[in-house]
Structure 1
């Protein structure tokens, strides 16, 4: 009982702290991030100025899902001169019937919204159209289910993906892909990356800004757990711990490689071809990463070194073979050849806070910017 009580106090403290930080984030004036006479710096880096606006749109989706009063959640986007466009006005009558099941699920879970910039907006660098996608709400079982799909690379089976893809495609086809931005946080970042990756492969690249996108496959989680297990083994058994750890690692690696090597020549060829197509399309999403966020920081390691045809981990995921064998069709969203990395550092003793969206709201945020490519 004492353990449960302590856990309850910790969770309550976390919820209160996060709520306080969200309220403080809402008070920030996003207009401060724009300067009319700013002609200096790399054009790609100047696009980061949109960060505070895009984060506010995503927060609007969070508060809408939380059933907060309309006058409260609307402030997230009205103060940055956007209005929410009903999906019914984006899709045709036939498309509404075609996606009836997905629309029903979307009305229940309210994952994303379509926003259009107001004509009187003074923010010239703001995109005309934005699709903003919220992340995980721990109280929503459907969200936790989708999080599990991310780990297994099965997010493509979520009802969120086909509707989201079609909406973004429809906006791009009607208004020009260059006038559409997609943004999301956490689960929403994963969904946005998957959809934008598909569109880029089809020749319809849209600009994407993704906050704390998860890099949490079975393989990456296994590596993280392995480091913890190694420390436990060595501390518990200084003499034999490392040998036992190495033996277990070899056995696990042998098992996954055996699964991954089962008739996957065609899948590897397809994955490499997609990687090269994305490189030719010059699709390069903006990834907003916190170095102390264990959910997204693997992206920093992933883009640290260039790749080659033999370095499969950069363009091919063996986890897809394991998941396909057990669960069916899979799709990777986290493997692409180029990205704009926007990184910050918060306190390492607050790993949960490091994942929160409010870290990105401050217009005067100090960050590092790097455009990185994994050339073949």
Structure 2
């Protein structure tokens, strides 16, 4: 029995875990003013969290650990590790940037002082059960109730208390991006707009993006908007003049960076979500969409307690980047590695929500 366990631990390590084999070694000098360089660094730091947990599972320690190069290559050091209190897995990390004469180039003033990164689901026996339970909480819009999120939120609040006005980034992948998104929303409401890089963030709605017919997709989205707006008026009384300080409007100034792949049905809904908002404005149905974009049918039909919670995936504004490269399969489309590929081709656009729409609507 012991021999079997040892053989299991000694399985060959995937090249995907080894920085010199699959990491962005092409990025020997980071231009912190360059959006693509920042994307590459943020994704690599998330991968560092994944490999920290895989090192733990495989009992790999220095000098055999594979995780350190994923942050040391970019002049970060590991400031703090976040450990889940249920399964003892590593789910997050706080990195601190090491300023020096060597890396202090003209763009260094835009480098983050700290980066808080969160991994997504790891489908291994050590982590599968806990991660899948959190995925389910995310789907049910209950992620805020988990101890993992509460630990993460407390860690971010503490680093803000320590760092003061220093530049702090949030980043995450999949489930980790959902945690980052929720933290970012909370911090914005507290008056701190944190820079966030969210890779494959879950869009918790029907996978309309999988439909090939653009006409049918638009019809489904239009009908959904009308239904959501009607339900919101009936349930919440949103036919009254909206308040300037409603929660959704308060978030409008925060513009996280979202990175999505059209072939990934977990996150591709963001493409249609923002495109549909533009189309509704163009056809003169902006008032309907302004109400619909803040709500989900699931939350509107739920209990009054759940109804008061903002759907996690609905956000007013964002820089949306779409990976335009072909993905051979879902695993690649949802993976983290695509976001530092030197051959990456992306389409980026800023989508902004106007919180003062009601002034033009009512006056």
TM over 0.5: yes
Single out whichever of 130-139 and 162-171 deviates more from structure 2: 162-171
Task: Quote the Cα distance in structure 2 between the aligned partners of 1:374 and 1:63.
Answer: 37
Aligned pair count? 313
User: What pairs with 1:329-348 in structure 2 (closer than 5 Å)?
Assistant: 330-347=309-326
Structure with the bigger RCO (C-alpha within 8 Å, sep 6+) is 1
State the Cα distance separating 1:323 from its structure 2 match: 4.7
Kindly report structure 1 stretches of 4+ aligned residues shifted beyond 3 Å: 18-27, 30-33, 252-266, 268-272, 306-309, 321-331
3-state SS of paired residue (2:246): helix
State the Cα distance separating 1:201 from its structure 2 match: 1.6
State the Cα distance separating 1:141 from its structure 2 match: 1.0
User: What pairs with 1:13-92 in structure 2 (closer than 5 Å)?
Assistant: 19-23=14-18, 26-29=22-25, 31-32=27-28, 34-35=30-31, 46-66=34-54, 67=56, 68=58, 69-70=60-61, 71-86=65-80
1:310 alignment counterpart: 288
Give 2:112's match in structure 1, choosing from 113, 118, 127. 127
TM-score normalised according to structure 1 size: 0.71
Task: Quote the Cα distance in structure 2 between the aligned partners of 1:143 and 1:127.
Answer: 28
State the Cα distance separating 1:190 from its structure 2 match: 0.6
User: What pairs with 1:1-376 in structure 2 (closer than 5 Å)?
Assistant: 19-23=14-18, 26-29=22-25, 31-32=27-28, 34-35=30-31, 46-66=34-54, 67=56, 68=58, 69-70=60-61, 71-86=65-80, 104-105=85-86, 108-120=88-100, 122=103, 124=108, 125-139=110-124, 140-177=128-165, 179-217=167-205, 220-221=206-207, 223=208, 263-265=235-237, 273-279=246-252, 282-304=253-275, 305-306=277-278, 308-311=286-289, 312-324=291-303, 330-347=309-326, 349-363=328-342, 365-375=344-354, 376=357
Task: Quote the Cα distance in structure 1 between the aligned partners of 2:172 and 2:26.
Answer: 17
Please tell me the root mean square deviation across aligned C-alpha atoms, in Å. Answer: 3.7
Assess if the C-alpha contact under 8 Å between 1:33 and 1:52 holds in 2: no
Deviations 1:330-350 (A, max 9, x none): 442222221111221333551
Assess if the C-alpha contact under 8 Å between 2:229 and 2:292 holds in 1: no
Gaps of 5+ in 2: 1-11, 214-218, 358-363
Task: Quote the Cα distance in structure 2 between the aligned partners of 1:253 and 1:343.
Answer: 23
Task: Quote the Cα distance in structure 1 between the aligned partners of 2:307 and 2:353.
Answer: 29
Assess if the C-alpha contact under 8 Å between 1:338 and 1:371 holds in 2: yes
